[in-house]
Structure 1
């Protein structure tokens, strides 16, 4: 069984799309389709069936998908151990970087490059869910993940814990408030996170807990673009507090969301009981030295204006715009 065909098949199942899988693997869709077909021919049974827009695994497909992940993880570990026979004078390490937490890891990346200039440091830019799956499958050694994750599968080094804040245009009805209950945003149009991002599910669950389903008018995985859409009047957004601190206070109103608070907890994750190369362990050591300072300084709550009201209870009688 060809590993490449197995890898393509696993990616198609993860993404539930031949097109998206091809983009992730940097090949054409016909290549993906051909390799999956060759895998089915070799096994002698179909692995995937289409049910409307969804793909359904056959009995054989479930076995190949489950065992295939183990095979790919074992192959990745074998390759890492063989590559690790050398010293830290050379080699490579790939780090998963989520789009919403990328700036958190910049100090560690810079310090690692300075300390180990001959190690090829590669960045895998995907959402936290894709990074988590890649860690479990063994395709990645280290990556930024949004907590919580399965502690039976992934060990973590916490980086920062923040909460999401409301981001609205300046001179909005939120200006004089210190905090905003999530439920009062029920009728607002939301600029939301991409469906592939773990934060998408976190915010959706919080909205359900507050008793409503959000009206989504746009999606992005990049905080600055989300803020730009808010400034353009497309809708409101919920962003981690540190990014709100970077926004121009003359253009935006940012307030903590409560009832419930929505946590944003970032960590570095690696596969529990998995093999970590010398290069990966070195990067983790650098991260331990550099990231806590970043989390404790730049990534903090933005101060509230002196004229902010102590509570948002007065919003109860307002009709959402």
Structure 2
């Protein structure tokens, strides 16, 4: 069994017809049929039910399909990494990250570049709901994410920091004179929320429910910067990760600690434990962890 056989098999499954699959693969239908028969003979089991008009996988066929898809993705990823190494000498690093990561990750990148000046780094700001796809498809080497569900056992989730969510309000707002407020005091305020695809949106809604007040959002945003600008214009108040106002430029807004309850979130570094990583990728991951240990007095970093 080789890569070519697996590619033919996966293409046939996904096209569901010999004619269509053969056309995509640029081979004749008899050649594809013979290839599948040869694969079945090598494995000692039938991969397709041939008693029906539709192409239906047998149980061994289902298992092989799931495995073959992953193998082909790994093969493509390996070829890409070898091309990167050939071009740069060290390869490139692809990092998926939530938006708020951009306020601290440049500090890590600066230190990394002092050691690996020839390595290209691709920072990809990806919504939480797309992180899983980016990891499974090997589009990225690792992800900085709050997403922890639906990842298989082959993926490691390393907590790198936790942080409180804080209120940001206009600098002339009554809350700006306070160091902290109970969430119950937000009742009656115009609330700016991130859209439902953000994990922090659910954390905020649960904190509001826990406080016993009735409060819904009026403005819903896709970017944290948009929320900041709406607040600066006096259109409402917003609850954001504490790292955002600490690291970003935020003229016209004020940060207030939230209590009763104090909403918090955890941020993880996710990666495939079974994938090969270059020394450069491993070093960047290690520097991220070292950064948060060193800076643990800033935004409540995990040790």
What is the TM-score with the length of structure 2 in the denominator?
A: 0.65
Alignment gaps of 5+ in structure 1: 7-38, 45-59, 302-321
- Distance across 1 between alignment mates of 2:292 and 2:72: 31
Residue 89 of structure 1: aligned partner: 89
Contact 1:74 1:138 in 2 (8 A): no
SS of match in other structure, 2:296: helix
What's the CA shift for 1:70? Answer: 5.8
Hey, what does 2:197 align to over in structure 1?
A: 196
Q: 1:204 to 1:270 in 2, by over 3 A?
A: same
1:101-180 matches, cutoff 5 A: 101-146=101-146, 148=148, 152=153, 154-180=155-181
Displacement of 1:185: 1.9
Match of 1:23 in 2: none
CA distance in 2, matches of 1:196, 1:69: 28
CA 1:251/1:142 → structure 2, altered by over 3 Å: closer, same or farther?
same
Distance 2:291 2:247 in 1: 21
Whether contact under 8 Å (1:72, 1:138) holds in the other structure is no
Tell me how far apart the structure 1 counterparts of residues 216 and 186 of structure 2 sit (CA, whole Å). 8
Report if aligned partners of 2:191, 2:216 keep a CA contact under 8 Å in 1. Answer: yes
Task: Give the CA deviation at 1:166.
Answer: 0.9
What residue is the counterpart of 1:99 in the other structure? 99
Cα–Cα, structure 1 residues 75 and 205, in superposed 2: closer, same or farther, change >3 Å? farther
Bigger Rg, structure 1 or 2: 2
Match in the other structure for 2:72: 75
Change (3 A) 1:288 1:2: same
Structure 2 gap segments, 5+ residues each: 20-55
Q: Distance in 1 between matches of 2:169 and 2:278?
A: 45
Deviation of residue 71 (structure 1)? 5.0
Query: What TM-score results when the alignment is normalised by the length of structure 1?
Result: 0.62
Q: Does structure 1 retain, via aligned residues, the 8 Å contact 2:112–2:287?
A: yes
Alignment partners' CA distance in 2, 1:279 and 1:70: 28
Instruction: Say if 2:143 and 2:270, in contact at 8 Å, map to a contact too.
Output: yes
Aligned-pair distance for 1:213?
Answer: 5.0
Structure-1 residue corresponding to 2:284: 283
Structure 2: how far apart are the matches of 1:251 and 1:258? 23
2:41 is matched with which residue? none
Count of residues paired in the alignment: 250
Q: CA deviation at 1:77?
A: 2.4
The CA RMSD measured in Å over matched residues stands at: 4.0
Secondary structure class of the residue paired with 1:292: helix
Matched residue of 2:175: which SS?
coil
Q: Is the 8 A contact 2:181 2:258 kept in 1?
A: yes
Q: 1:71 to 1:94 in 2, by over 3 A?
A: farther
User: Cα gap change, 1:117/1:155 in structure 2, threshold over 3 Å: closer, same or farther?
Assistant: same
